[in-house]
Amino acid sequence: MVNGSTPTVADGLAGVVAAQTRLSSVDGEAGELIIAGFPVAELASRASFEETVYLLWHDHLPSPGPLAAFREELAACRDLPQVTLNLLQAAASQKTAVIDALRMAVNTLGLPAAHDSRQAAIRLVAAFPTIVTAYWRLLNQLEPLPARPDLGHAANYLYMLFGWEPEPEQVHGLETYLNTVVDHGMNASTFTARVIISTQSDMISAVGGALGALKGPLHGGAPGPALDMIFEIGDTARVEPYLRRKLAAGERLMGFGHRVYKVRDPRAEVLAAAAARLYRSNNQQALYQLACQVEQMAVALLAEYKPGRQLQTNVEFYTALLLHGLGLTSDLFTPTFAISRVAGWTAHCFEQQRLNRLIRPQSAYVGSKDRRWIPVEQRLN
Ligand SMILES: CC(C)(COP(=O)(O)OP(=O)(O)OC[C@H]1O[C@@H](n2cnc3c(N)ncnc32)[C@H](O)[C@@H]1OP(=O)(O)O)[C@@H](O)C(=O)NCCC(=O)NCCS
């Protein structure tokens, strides 16, 4: 602030650097995402999800012994306490959205070990798929299934949803997705988690808050609408008139535009390749090709209707396609994003705890300062 004048506000905190991190780096101009030292394309289609979680928490990849122990530790923490199952049953009777049921259920997990951060983090990462699958099955009048400790994290998620052991191509597709979206700089939900843990609150509270931030359509809630758009278009002949109509009406195209990326989101690149591979294996090429045409036309029309805004494909567009190809219904898209991102949130919490510094920015007051009290009976409005 200069001589009592109003300080400059960075709207939406755009451009503000809020922390140092070793977890991920996002270069929006170059279209580059680094996850704990690895370009996303180097890591995402090669690592198991357990390896990626380990990498984020320890800053190096595990050798075989520690990896096996880590897998076992996670697999042993998948089961839910009765209080969580009771809550999920009550939520299902109200037809609560899956992401909201997950948000509520998380808060029932941590009570015994909330202040042991590592134990809480293991519990959160391990239990997220169990909560989502148990709840989704209850919503669909199916009995929740017990976890399969012999299956890895990704394979067990698909097993607990559908009740059959997934094909290796499906596990690979899901694992690529989970690895791709595991962390992404100082996004809104990660910032939320760091703010909460910086008050020396606990990991469960930090992750509960982060989930609240994630569910908004401007953050993690976009893939459902992106898929709806592809289905509504339905046919290659309708791509251009449909998109023009939306843009002329001032609507936003879901799956396009990003606060940071001004070129194609590198995660879209990785997920498009994973979707192409999956759709080749399940013979649904027509849908994949329609999506590619929607993408090309949308980018071209966004440049026409919003010149200079540099609106390109974001992660959500191919997320929708990939998760649909795995048989997931769109109400599972954001919860599946959370199943991955919880590893990033917990890693950021560890980092913030080591820093041990309260996050407390300022605000610029723009209201008046000289009001005088008027008794209620004398007020005119
Ligand atoms: C992600 C998003 C919120 C980033 O927004 P942002 O950086 O804050 O950009 P703004 O909201 O300031 O938008 C800048 C301009 O581009 C337009 N715009 C941004 N994204 C657009 C989209 N997907 N479709 C159409 N127009 C879009 C805005 O209307 C605005 O136009 P104006 O300046 O003429 O009013 C935004 O691009 C969006 O809403 N995308 C669709 C939702 C989505 O895919 N979310 C997932 C993100 S990973």
% pLDDT > 90, the chain:
85
Q: Are 268 and 313 in contact (CB under 8 A)?
A: yes
What is the reported pLDDT for 8? 86
Q: Of ligand 1's atoms, which has the minimum distance to the CA of residue 314?
A: 48
Active site amino acids: 258, 316
CA distance 30 to 181: 18
Amino acid identity of residue 339, one-letter, is I
Structure tokens at 44: 């995402």
Is 248 near ligand 1, meaning CB less than 6 Å away? no
Ligand 1 centroid to Cα of residue 13, in Å, is: 16
pLDDT in tens, 100-141: 999 999 999 875 555 789 999 999 999 999 999 999 999 999
- Count other Cβ atoms within 10 Å, centred on residue 51: 18
- C-alpha 191: how far from chain center: 13
Of the listed ranges 140-154, 200-214, 281-295, the least confidently predicted one is 281-295
Confidence of residue 283 (pLDDT cuts 50, 70, 90): confident
Contacts of 375 (CB under 8 A, 6+ apart): none
Backbone torsion region of residue 263, taken as left when φ is above 0, otherwise alpha when ψ lies between -120 and 50, otherwise beta: beta
pLDDT in tens, 181-217: 999 999 999 999 999 999 999 999 999 999 999 998 7
Is 106 near ligand 1, meaning CB less than 6 Å away? no
Amino acid identity of residue 374, one-letter, is I
Residue nearest to atom 40 of ligand 1 (CA): 257
Residue nearest to atom 8 of ligand 1 (CA): 259
pLDDT in tens, 209-241: 999 999 987 787 666 888 899 999 999 999 999
pLDDT in tens, 16-54: 999 999 999 999 999 999 999 999 999 999 999 999 999
Is 148 near ligand 1, meaning CB less than 6 Å away? no
DSSP state of 256: B
What is the reported pLDDT for 1? 45
- Predicted TM-score (pTM) of the model is 0.92
Ligand 1 centroid to Cα of residue 231, in Å, is: 22
pLDDT in tens, 322-355: 999 999 998 999 999 999 999 999 999 999 999 9
Structure tokens at 99: 């992401």
Q: Of ligand 1's atoms, which has the minimum distance to the CA of residue 220?
A: 46
Backbone torsion region of residue 33, taken as left when φ is above 0, otherwise alpha when ψ lies between -120 and 50, otherwise beta: beta
